[in-house]
A and B are shown apart, each in its own frame.
Chain A
């Protein structure tokens, strides 16, 4: 899969707007001033980034424990059942980050719910629906948590990527 082709403005927005997004009445105008462009150009660039799927949304990442209760979980799925089980797990609205990984514990996902009891109920129903062994791995301490992501825009990286 080739990486998407982003404009210089789109790249600049990804560099500066992953954290500390302006909390002021016209945030897109604030970003536009920083980048020497117009508010409408910034809005159009964000629309394009969302349409391309590069930006999921502009929003908040909440501190662990601040909002609801979440838990990393994994299932050991027979390979022939993986697509069906992934669909079953993903059908729960409390599930996100549903990934296949190259390990006997091959399906990994996060369950986020209103509180711990609701979270455990979702995990219980996933275990019952799939009949598969389930790992429940709640976080105990964060050493370094999501602060955004510095993207390497260098052409050499893109060329290597295209060859891969």
Chain B
């Protein structure tokens, strides 16, 4: 499962670490010491907290956050499907195994404006190539008879860690 009910897992110092990490790990020889210093946390305390958050799945990924466009991946397709509720788990599981899919999730519909409940992101270098891979994927996953749409990214106005208020910054679990 990818959903964590985490309120009891995080104390105030964990949340302060979440804030501190929102601007990124310092590029210094002892970055965890630098991260903890303003919070009154030792290097060892920072490492033990982050290790616990990682091992318990609260941190799903820890590492470099790469911007796709800057490495030449200009085409990103958000593929959306209207899958009957009793088939959506199966369809999502099939899409999730595809190598071309970087993210796949189920979302709430908003009828009548938005009937689609299953989302899959496909990234690539060129739009034509991504479009062809999407069509093949749709066929091979048996989704070609379902209502669907493919929305390509055109311009990026803003990309960065979300701000959770008070002010808290972090990379949200979601991305479009």
Contacts and interface: CB of A to CB of B under 8 A. Distances in A.
Residues of B in contact with A, size category = 35 or more
B64 A21 contact: yes
A-B pairs with the 4 shortest C-beta distances? A57-B24, A112-B162, A3-B72, A144-B96
B12 interface: no
Main SS of chain B's interface residues? mixed
Contacts of B152: 101-102
A143 B64 contact: no
A62 B59 contact: yes
Contacts of B158: 86, 90, 95-98, 109
A19 B131 CA distance: 28
Interface string B98-114: 00011111111010011
B65 to A, nearest CB: 4
B31 A27 contact: yes
Nearest to B17: A60
A143 B93 contact: yes
Contacts of B69: 1
Residues of A in contact with B, size category = 35 or more
Nearest to B93: A143
Contacts of A1: 69, 74
A91 B88 CA distance: 35
A61 B4 CA distance: 13
A148 B170 CA distance: 16
B71 A54 contact: yes
Interface of A: 1, 3-4, 6, 13-14, 17-21, 23-29, 39, 43, 46-47, 49-50, 52-68, 70-72, 74, 86-87, 89-90, 93-103, 105-106, 108-114, 118, 133, 135-149, 151-152, 157-158, 160-161, 164
B105 A136 contact: no
B62 A21 contact: yes
A113 B169 CA distance: 9
Contact of B162 (A25, A47, A50, A110): A110
B160 interface: yes
B136 interface: no
Given A99-B154, A140-B107, A142-B105, 20 more contacts: A4-B70, A14-B66, A17-B64, A18-B63, A27-B31, A28-B29, A55-B67, A58-B25, A59-B65, A66-B57, A94-B163, A100-B154, A111-B162, A114-B164, A118-B165, A137-B108, A141-B106, A145-B103, A149-B73, A161-B72
